[in-house]
Amino acid sequence: MKAYAFESIKNEFLDIYAAIRDLTDDEILNGPEDMFRSHFEKLQRLIARDVDDRLAKELLCDRELKWITKHISHLKKLNGLRMEIRFAQSIIAAPDPWTVLRGFVYYPNYLRLADMEYRGADLKSGDRVVFLGSGPLPLSLICLCKQYGVKGMGIEQVPEYATLSQQLIQTLELTEHIQMVQGNHFSLPLNEECMLVMVAADAGPKDEIFTHLAKTLPNGARLSYRIYEKGLRRLVDDPEALNPPPEFKEYLRIRPEPPVNNTSVFLVKDIKRQRMSLASFGQT
């Protein structure tokens, strides 16, 4: 029975891959949505399926599937980016932007994620956070600001997305609380005090980001990022996010409750821990 489930799920991924593998980045971002919408909807239903944890691990270890799901994950991120761009544009053009924003299908998810970040980093009203890879629709910052009075800076490396997010923040009249800039992880550290550095789920490459932050952030700095731990969603996650450098110590992991699917992982830079680890290594 388990072997049948393995082959059935693998074949579903193969079918989806066959349908979308030849799509270019430009086609997903700018082409007619009818070309691919049904396939991504099928993918969403597939990865949302509740499966046995052992079966999920076996699928993760399948070499053919690992290569295929990496490409599917890339295209899935582009489809999400397309959605964010379109929705940011619709908010900016709307006579009542906050009503449109609250109508976003994933708005409740981001409210819950903001609550997880607020609790996990022990933030307070007036605290400042930095969000790496904030994208054209920086909902995490917007929700933290609106719900908890947290101030923030969003850093986005693609110039047109940074510009779009700046226009969005202006439209929502949040410019006194949220600053959007064009840059990347090499823009850190900042001169201003920051209580938390948040790394977006789609920010990458994760290994390069974590390595730079491990070298440049001050001792005691807090960092958060998001991963998938549930079911088949792990197959389209970034494996580099699972192994941060030894300078960072995980101090908390908040697992999701509906409608959220992401686990929020919280790290603190701990040089003492790194030195102990190196000392132990030298003794072996």
* Predicted confidence (pLDDT) per residue in 94-103, tens digit: 999 999 999 9
CA distance 138 to 88: 9
Please check the confidence at residue 87 and state whether its pLDDT lies above 80: yes
pLDDT score, position 278: 39
* Superfamily name and number for 106-279: Vaccinia Virus protein VP39 (3.40.50.150)
Please tell me the pTM assigned to this model: 0.90
pLDDT score, position 231: 81
Banded model confidence at residue 276, pLDDT cuts 50, 70, 90? very low
Which range, 1-5, 45-49, 128-132, has the best average confidence (pLDDT)? 128-132
pLDDT score, position 244: 87
Say which residue, 94 or 2, is predicted with more confidence.
94
Q: What is the average per-residue pLDDT within 212-224?
A: 95
pLDDT score, position 237: 86
CA distance 110 to 137: 11
Cα 144 to chain centroid, rounded = 15
Please check the confidence at residue 62 and state whether its pLDDT lies above 50: yes
174 within 8 A of 199, measured Cβ to Cβ:
no
Taken in order 123, 126, 130, 136, is the CA torsion positive or negative? positive
